[in-house]
Chain A
């Protein structure tokens, strides 16, 4: 048998350190969520739930007191449809910037840069005023439009590197075969960039699902999404830590699932590098 070298031990140590650093927060949420409220509020916290007092009480309470599943479902439906909208529009914009020549191209590009940097909060007040006049406040359709359209500048920008490296020959072949320009995007570019599409889809979906600003400002009851609902757990006079932790965990389950399944796509979406 080979002797273990000191380098290997250091490596193993490094792996353990990084993995536990990344895992500790979620472990702590799980730990707190499985305790009765009275056992969370103590000066020397339980580092693991003692089997005797381990309970699902917090989950039971939030599921009966709040319609958590409805809120999660609202979030999923809204963010899914919104992401489809964002990606269709963004790919079309990125395609025309990368593969067409026109006079104002530079200005369109800088316009996108400017728009993606403007903070979202500056839109909240005027949009609130306009949509409450239109009676659209707190509707699914409003949230789909808002999350669908608000991602356009950022995701056109993210899609650009993929478009720039897309081979012109394929596009020309499509044009010769009689595709319209939209047909080129829909039938040739989007299927060939499947990996990039998945990557950007996940990025947009996760960001929209996890966003608090718009969901807090525009949904209250009918179209209520899960993020603002989480904030209702801490009361004015009490801090139900176990419920807060349980809610946070339930809310992140769908995202965790997606990230675990599609993890190799996530980074490539940001860096514009196609997968090997």
Chain B
């Protein structure tokens, strides 16, 4: 009898606690998502056209270019933010008493929106009037001013550097907090064993920070794959389509050109690719974290 009551207790609330809250997401996002996939099989006069839109997507060189750049962007941004975040996190930890001040400053770049950051980038990276060119020329690093946002290759680099320089501080903060939860006994012990600073770093600090590294890298990679705001505010995908990431590509077809059906086909292909990434990389990683 007691068991039966327990079962009742555990079954009924699930509807209210799990299913109904989740239903809000499904109704507002998942159903439109599948509706969008349905839409991708039609043309703008609502004629069923089968896979025609998809064939055009696969033959669209610009789509593949944007995909390539999205992945390069995500790998570089997530990689650099993890690496430099780790570096600065450990570095700040060694700053002694002053780190309280540093800690309180680190969140300021995070508070700036990517939109405002993009506008600031336009100001600072301007070829003629920008401060970046001015400083680099004065220091003798550059001989002449560069068109940071005008040249396709430079623009790609600028977008990535711009993103990294804004949020590397946030990842540094995550690593700093993680570093400070490592018990100090481990460091005493490694000192007793006669380990030098490099050995302590390689055998104590880095292994202890591994879970944080995994978490930070994957979450940054996922956010970077979704990048829209910064690129839109900084370059709008230009010059030409050089810095167009997948989100901008879909937005351009669907919203700016008003080509819904084609845009939804691109969106479907893109979400399929992201899903493969989730199944192959993200989900197994999660299982490892969950089993711990």
Contact = CB atoms under 8 A, between A and B. Distances in A.
Contacts of B271: 118-119, 122
21 contacts: A18-B106, A22-B109, A25-B112, A40-B123, A89-B24, A117-B277, A119-B226, A122-B250, A127-B32, A181-B16, A210-B113, A212-B115, A212-B232, A213-B229, A213-B251, A248-B112, A248-B116, A248-B120, A252-B112, A255-B112, A259-B111
Contact of A146 (B28, B107, B278): B28
B13 A119 contact: no
B41 to A, nearest CB: 13
B181 interface: yes
B88 A18 contact: yes
B250 to A, nearest CB: 5
Contacts of A248: 112-113, 115-117, 119-120
B222 A241 contact: no
A102 B111 contact: no
Given A45-B130, A121-B267, A230-B115, A126 B24 contact: no
- B contact patch SS: helix
A130 B30 CA distance: 13
A244 B123 contact: yes
Nearest to B172: A18
B65 interface: no
B158 interface: no
B174 interface: yes
Nearest to A116: B222
Contacts of B25: 89, 115, 149-150, 152-153
A136 B282 CA distance: 36
Contacts of B22: 89, 93, 108, 152
Contact of B247 (A213, A231, A260): A213
Nearest to A19: B105
B210 to A, nearest CB: 14
Given A11-B95, A25-B120, A231 B111 contact: no
Which of B104, B228, B246, B268 is most buried by chain A, counting CB atoms within 10 A of its CB? Answer: B228
Interface stretch (A49-57, A61-69, A190-198, A263-271): A263-271
A78 interface: no
B255 A267 contact: no
Contact of B233 (A12, A44, A231, A260): A231
Contacts of A21: 169
B36 interface: yes
B100 to A, nearest CB: 10
Contacts of A122: 33, 36, 250, 267-268, 270-271
Contacts of A89: 21-22, 24-25
Given A125-B267, A233-B119, A248-B120, A45 B131 contact: yes
A170 interface: no
Contacts of A45: 129-131, 134
A15 interface: yes
A266 B108 CA distance: 12
Interface residues of A, number: 100
A209 B113 contact: yes
A238 to B, nearest CB: 12
Interface string A104-144: 00001110011111111111111111100000000000000
A223 interface: no
Contact of A152 (B24, B250, B286): B24
A119 B225 contact: yes
A212 B233 contact: yes
A147 B157 CA distance: 31
A119 B274 contact: yes
Given A15-B98, A122-B267, A152 B21 contact: yes
B129 A42 contact: yes
Interface string B123-165: 1101011110010000000000000000000000000000001
B197 interface: no
B275 interface: yes
A123 B29 contact: yes
B89 to A, nearest CB: 11
B36 to A, nearest CB: 3
B228 A121 contact: yes
